[in-house]
Structure 1
Amino acid sequence: MAKLVPAAVERGYIRITTPLVEGLVRAGVTPNALTTIGALIIAASAIAYGAGAIRLGGWLILASGVLDTLDGQVARRSGQASPFGAFYDSTLDRVGDGACFIGIAAYLQRAPEVRWRQEAVIACMLGILAALLVSYMRARAEGLGLDCKVGIAQRAERILLLGLPTALIGAGPEALVLTSIVGVLTILSLITVGQRFAYVHRVTARTGA
C-alpha cells in the first residue's frame, strides 16, 4: 500500500545519514541513548506546543524524528539490536505521540481567538487514539506472525506532517493552520487503522488463520 513518503525518498535519506550513523557507532553511542535523547526532545516539543511556542515545537519534533531513525540504524550497524531495545523504542514512541497531541490540545484549549476550539480539541483526542491504534495493530499483527507495516500515515509521515508546517508557519491566524494539521493527521491515522485492519483480515482469511 502506498505511503505519503515514497520508498525512494526513504532510501535517499538512509544514504545521506549513513556517514552520521557510522560516526555514532565509532563514538560508541548506543541505540538506547539515542532513543532516550529523542524522547526527551519530543517531550520538550510537547511542552513548547503547550506553551504556545508552536514553531519551536515543530523544529523539536522534527529533530526527534531524525533521532528516531538513527537509533534503529545504529542498532543494526553496530550489532546492538535487541528485543528490549525494540520494546524501549516503541514504548517511548507512544509516549511521544500522546504527549505532542496533549500539548497541542492544551494550547488550543486556552489560546485566544481559536476558531473551532472544541472541534480541534476533540480532534486531538481522536488523534491520540488513532496513533495508539496504528501502533497496537502492527504489534498485535506481528504477534500473530504477520508483517503489518502497511498504511498511508505511519510514524515518520505523521512527524513530517506535524513538524514541518508548524516549524515553518506556526499555528496560523486563529490557529487555523494547527487545527487543520491536527484534523488531517487524525483522518490519515484513522485511514491507516482501516488499512491495517483490512490487511490483517485479508491475510488471515487467505491463510485460514
Structure 2
Amino acid sequence: MAYSTAARIADEARALLLAEGLEAVSMRRVASAAGITAMAIYRHYPSREALLGAVADQARAEITERWRHRPRQATPRAELRSTLNAVLDLALGQPALYSLLTTDSPSDSADLNWDPRAGKSPVLDAVAAAIDEGMDDGDFPPDDVWQVAVTIVGMLHGLISLHHAGQLGLSDPEFRVLCGTSMTRLLDGVAPQPAAEPVEPVAP
C-alpha cells in the first residue's frame, strides 16, 4: 500500500508531539515537517483537532494490536499487574502521547453516552478481561465487571495525572511502587488491624 500524504502528516504530527509536547503540534509546523504548504494540510485534515484525533486513533490501534499479542499471565492478578505496567510504560515513557490518548484528544470517551464495553479502550478491555476471569475463577468476588474495570482504570489515571503534574514528589520508580500498592489496596480493601483493647489495671 502506498504511503499516503495523510499518513505522512499524521506521522510527522506524532513525532513532533513526542519530541516537544502537545503545544508544539501546530498545523504550520506539521505541514513544514511533512514537506507540504500550510494550506495544503487542510485538504487532508480540516482542523488541528482532526489531525490530533487521527494521531490518537493510530496510536490506540497500535496499542490494541500490541496488547492483543502480549503473553498471557498465569493468574488474573498477574494479568492485571502486567496491564498496569504496560500503562505505566506508556505514561512515563511517552507522557505527551498518554495525555493525548486520555485527556487532550477529542474522542468518544468525552461523550456522556460513551459505553466502556464498546471496545474502544485497550486499557479497559484488558482490565475487564482479567477481572472477568478472576471472578469466574473465584479469585475476585462477584461484581459488575465493567464497573470494577472503570474503577481500576480511573484510579490509575488519577494517580498518573497527579504524578505528571509533579504533585506527588516521587521519582518514576517510586511512583510505580505506589501504583502497585494502590492496586493491591483496591483489590483487597483497606483493612487495618483492630486496635488492642485497653487492659484495666489490676487492683493490688
Normalising by the smaller structure, the TM-score range is 0.3 to 0.5
From the two aligned structures, give the one with the greater helix fraction: 1
What TM-score do the two structures reach when normalised by structure 2? 0.36
Which structure has the bigger radius of gyration? Answer: 2
Greater RCO (CA < 8 Å, at least 6 residues apart): 1
